[in-house]
Structure 1
């Protein structure tokens, strides 16, 4: 079965596999700017990479039986998802300015992906080894509050990712002082760029691209609680 990845804006992603939904870093919509909506999903599991207000609105995606995991390091399982949490600094001063985040590596349906959260400096070799090789990397692209976009792409390469999905960048209406996606794409000369008209991507090991590919997902349609999966790559 393919793995479904949905982007709910900013750093919030939903991973669907084995009939279960895992959400990482939910926001409340309004914390991003006027007119933005919270993720429209009820999660079976929620991972929080760090306790900043635009990453930890678990109440917006939680139901009666939702399991919430906050900043957990090490290896653990959540239903069909095998998860590894690795602690990383949120700034270039080894966490002294903004503290730490937990990058989550998630394995499901024969694929592995990593959510690098708000990593604040270049990924080090020992940190890449701790995370392990991945097929897909979700990387911050907005520069401010996180590492430079060039360093984000270098981190994806160090992890062996064949697919990169940018996140945490400025869109019209967002009030956070982030850079737009073009800032990252300036440094993506070695990458193929594919833009989808959906916030959903289906992935399977058999259909992973042979060349390094950046997949730009579209913002979710307002009021659409369920979106059809986009065509598989």
Structure 2
């Protein structure tokens, strides 16, 4: 099974595993850097890391259009059910589930998770995907935490890490995260969408590759890598 990972900007990632499309944090409408529209992006599964509008994004609209299964924590699951969605699968931190295409486990993330209407969104999370023999960790919105070392012990083929600072890890903590995770490859995300998270990903790439054995791939919105 071929695996293609596309970055649509911010934290929105599409993992194509064979004929299955896994869409993560689809903030597209209102995103000045989005490389695809909510009306066009494919999705068989949608993973929502937390309730903030720039991550929950267009989940409801895309799920209604595609019939995708939405995976989230139990609190967001209940909120989405209240928005009229029924094809939902709740998980929670530390829990994994075997899907037809592979396995998804929810990891901790150090962040917040209020929903757009102010209601409680439960604990934020990251995602650890196992697809065939490949391991992909999408950290989503998080600060640095030492348990990343435990996630790294899984043997990561790819880590997807925020470097924007202000709301998440910045470049310094992003580098420390790479050292804890020790992935084969890393893709930086969650930068440049807004002025307050402007960063230089090429400079970060040079730092990471000078201090670790990890290969950094800097993507432009809409670009992809194959695993």
Relative to the length of structure 2, the TM-score reads: 0.74
Change in 2 beyond 3 A, CA 1:190/1:6: closer
Deviation at residue 84 of structure 1 after TM alignment: 0.7
In the alignment, which of 117, 126, 137 is matched to residue 114 of structure 1?
A: 137
Give the structure with the higher percent strand: 1
Aligned to 1:61: 62
Question: Are 2:186 and 2:217, in contact at CA under 8 Å, matched by a contact in 1?
Answer: yes
Name the structure with the higher helix share.
2
SS state of the match for residue 165, structure 1?
A: strand
CA deviation string 1:84-137 (max 9, x = no partner): 10122217xxxxxx98420100111321011101112x2213x53157331100
The residue aligned with 2:47 is 47
Contact 1:3–1:109 (CA under 8 A) maintained in structure 2: no
| Contact 1:45-1:78 within 8 A present in 2 as well | no
List per-residue Cα deviations over 1:176-217 (Å, max 9, x = no partner): 5212234x734742417xxxxxxxxxxxxxxxxxx4211011
User: Quick one: distance in 2 between partners of 1:4 and 1:48?
Assistant: 19
TM-score by length of 1: 0.72
Look up the match of 1:189: 207
- Offset of residue 60 of structure 1: 4.3
C-alpha spacing 1:176/1:24, structure 2 compared with 1 (3 Å): farther
| Secondary structure of the corresponding residue to residue 89 of structure 1 | coil
> Within 1, Cα distance between the matches of 2:55 and 2:129?
18
Instruction: Indicate how the Cα distance of structure 1 residues 99 and 141 shifts in structure 2: closer, same or farther if over 3 A, else same.
Output: farther
Tell me the matched-pair count. 195
**Residue in 2 aligned with 1:2?**
2
Distance 1:75 1:87, change over 3 A: same
**Alpha carbon RMSD of aligned pairs, Å?**
2.9
Please report how far the alpha carbon of residue 78 of structure 1 lies from its aligned counterpart in structure 2 after TM superposition: 2.8
Structure 2: which 5+ residue stretches go unaligned?
A: 74-90, 113-120
Contact 2:146–2:180 (CA<8 Å) still a contact in 1?
Answer: no
CA contact under 8 A between 2:8 and 2:34: conserved in structure 1?
A: no
Runs of 4+ in 1 over 4 A off after TM superposition: 34-37
On the 8 A contact 2:110/2:145 being kept in 1, the answer is: no
CA distance in 1, matches of 2:179, 2:157: 10
Render the CA deviation track for 1:132-176: whole Å, top value 9, x for unaligned. Answer: 331100000111200222212221231220100011000xxx445
